Structure 1
Amino acid sequence: MSLGNHKNVAHFGELLLRLDTPGHQRFVQASSFGLTFTGGEANVAVALQQWGLKTSIASAVPANDLGEMCLNHLRRYGVNTDSVIRSGNRLGILYVESGAGQRGSQVIYDRDATSFRELEPGMIDWEAFLKNAGLFHFTGTALVGPGTRNLLFEGLRVAKEKKIPISFDPSYRSQLWSLDEAKKVFCEVLPSVDIFLGSEADASTFFGVEASGDEALTALAAKYNLQWVAFTDREVDEMGVNHYSARLSNGATVFKSSTYQTVSVDRIGTGDAFAAGIIRGFLIQQQPEETLNFATAAAVLKHTIPGDFAFLSVDEVESLMNGQGIGKVKR
């Protein structure tokens, strides 16, 4: 499916090499790793490409075969990488140990002194990159470090001048920076944002929202003049089953999705699948409730897919939305 009438969705963020232990092995017992590529913004871009929207990403990778391998991986799924700079010597690494049952997954980051972290203001031509953009998306990890942060601030200023909607997922990672620093930076960023993608805990922790429940969405929207606020809600029971739902506020009404129960094959990337679903609905001017239901179903299905990318068709997501063919063998 192609949605050619809709402008490009532009992304800015770090691209990473992901190394997984085989099966559910612990780090201490593994003797090999499976290899793929990831990045919060890249995950969103690939999902949107699957659903017929055009996407591009601005980033940096080393000027070597590993950097080219990473870009080839994104191009395979249609993501435009023309604005990715070749510089520096390192691609960030994400080591993943997949949990099982009551044992959760574990992630180790190796993201110091990477090509992306060495970016500085002035290194991206934002006017050119955002020329045909219908929306600009980034996550909190793109704000770690002063160089990329100030470079992104340049992009946000250009996006606001061009009246391009901006979506933001805090995606806070405690291994990368302190809570206090993240809170300060996120509060600087949010006045530029149109679509917030996070959780009720994010609203309280980073933005001082004291309200709870549905009032937390409307309070955050009012405080920062946000068009849409979307929260995911997850509980994991003692058997390791995820109880997953979401809420969306358009400022006037709070919509609630169904609650799904799912056993997770790979939880990483589920939030990005949800974000992609919200962005898709916003861009195609889908009704907020239908947008929320699509995004939630996409996130639930992503739990069943190894790796970070949501390899899902619109039909598959809509089938789950409509309760059709759940868990059945297709023949």
Structure 2
Amino acid sequence: MEQKEFDLITFGETMLRLSPPVNELINKSNTFTKHAGGAELNVASGVSLLGLRTAIITRLPHNQLGTFIKNRIRSSSVSDDYIIFDKSPEARVGVYYYENGAYPRKPTVVYDRKHSSITKIKPEEIPQDIYGKTRMFYTSGITLALSEATRTLAIDMIKKFKAAGAQIAFDVNYRANLWDEDTARTTIKQILPYLDILFISEESCRRMFKKTGTLQDMHREFCREYPNIQLIASSEREVISPKVHSFTSTVYLKRLDKFFHEEPYKDIDVVDRIGSGDAYCAG
């Protein structure tokens, strides 16, 4: 097998997360802690923790906030070779504010990501030699939903990485605040013929793709419809309270026509739930 420079390359938005101290409210707190995040960065970071070589393609403002995120990417052992810096006067980083929940109050997320630098990414900013450099490429429905520019580029990347011999992994990761289910379904159907690995929730199977039957039935139907898909994974979370969750998952491996069901992790003490689904994808 040909040796590649990377085991995984991802494409997506890297954001600035601002959080008040635990149990404080966004609208009352005077101090916020900043973090770097984003689905594709979380996955790349998780895979790098497993000892594999990862990189992320993203676009950041050419200022101190962009530098902060770049430094966090590097400290996660993710290559920053493919960060594109936006030097335009209106360049900005996507921001979200996350407030931890405390029963009965649910966690709260407030987004301020519209017109962020990545939403204006241009195809010519992507080096064409990147497509032969990785064993696997990963992106998510969030990236497809951000803008017409990210959607068109992500679809083109999927096709080019696939043509270069990479496996393609995709997480539906539906966000109702970014797009509606009909648009999501129509768009995602364009890339399903190119996927090797699909992450999708049971809810998205039923609501977005109108599948019926058991979860196992729906997994098999996806693989019959799209024979290229080799593995489908669905996680399931039960929220007992904001700080106590139970978690399980089901994986279908088409080659063996076999399902693997994880025994539930019950009553987990939640330290920070942000990125936990991405950690699952990374594993």
TM-score (norm 2): 0.91
Task: Return the offset for 1:17.
Answer: 0.3
Match of 1:19, SS? strand
Mapped contact 2:102–2:242 kept (Cα < 8 A): no
- Farther-moved stretch of structure 1 (146-155 vs 37-46): 146-155
Task: Indicate which of 230, 241, 253 corresponds to 1:250.
Answer: 253
Residue type of the alignment partner of 1:59: T
Aligned to 1:300: none
Q: How does 1:287-326 map to 2 (within 5 A)?
A: none
Alpha-carbon distance between aligned partners in 2 of 1:65 and 1:257, rounded to the nearest angstrom: 43
Aligned to 1:169: 171
Distance 1:205 1:121, change over 3 A: farther
Task: Return the offset for 1:108.
Answer: 1.1
Task: Return the offset for 1:6.
Answer: 8.4
Mapped contact 2:237–2:245 kept (Cα < 8 A): yes
Residue type of the alignment partner of 1:27: I
Task: Return the offset for 1:263.
Answer: 2.4
- Farther-moved stretch of structure 1 (245-254 vs 189-198): 189-198
For residues 264-322 of structure 1, the C-alpha deviation after alignment (integer angstroms, 9 at most, x for no partner) is: 22111111000000xxxxxxxxxxxxxxxxxxxxxxxxxxxxxxxxxxxxxxxxxxxxx
Aligned to 2:40: 41
Aligned to 1:223: 225
Mapped contact 2:170–2:195 kept (Cα < 8 A): yes
Mapped contact 1:211–1:219 kept (Cα < 8 A): no
Mapped contact 1:122–1:151 kept (Cα < 8 A): no
Distance 1:116 1:237, change over 3 A: same
What's the % identity of the aligned pairs?
Answer: 30
Alignment partner of 1:142 is 2:143: yes
Task: Indicate which of 97, 100, 107 corresponds to 1:98.
Answer: 100
Alpha-carbon distance between aligned partners in 2 of 1:239 and 1:93, rounded to the nearest angstrom: 22
Task: Return the offset for 1:254.
Answer: 0.9
Alpha-carbon distance between aligned partners in 2 of 1:176 and 1:32, rounded to the nearest angstrom: 28
Aligned to 1:112: 114
Mapped contact 2:40–2:138 kept (Cα < 8 A): yes
Alpha-carbon distance between aligned partners in 1 of 2:76 and 2:280, rounded to the nearest angstrom: 18
Alpha-carbon distance between aligned partners in 1 of 2:4 and 2:132, rounded to the nearest angstrom: 15
TM-score (norm 1): 0.78
Task: Return the offset for 1:140.
Answer: 0.8
Residue type of the alignment partner of 2:208: F
Q: How does 1:229-240 map to 2 (within 5 A)?
A: 229-237=232-240
For residues 129-177 of structure 1, the C-alpha deviation after alignment (integer angstroms, 9 at most, x for no partner) is: 2322010000111112111111112211211211211001111111222
Unmatched 5+ stretches in structure 2? none
| Structure (1/2) with the larger strand percentage | 2
Alignment partner of 1:272 is 2:278: yes
Mapped contact 1:136–1:159 kept (Cα < 8 A): yes
- Farther-moved stretch of structure 1 (24-33 vs 215-224): 215-224
Match of 1:166, SS? strand
Q: How does 1:205-216 map to 2 (within 5 A)?
A: 205-216=207-218
For residues 233-289 of structure 1, the C-alpha deviation after alignment (integer angstroms, 9 at most, x for no partner) is: 122236863121001001201110111111222111111000000xxxxxxxxxxxx
Mapped contact 2:20–2:99 kept (Cα < 8 A): yes
Alpha-carbon distance between aligned partners in 1 of 2:192 and 2:96, rounded to the nearest angstrom: 27
Mapped contact 1:41–1:139 kept (Cα < 8 A): yes
Distance 1:238 1:147, change over 3 A: closer
Mapped contact 1:200–1:212 kept (Cα < 8 A): no
Aligned to 2:130: 129
Residue type of the alignment partner of 1:253: K
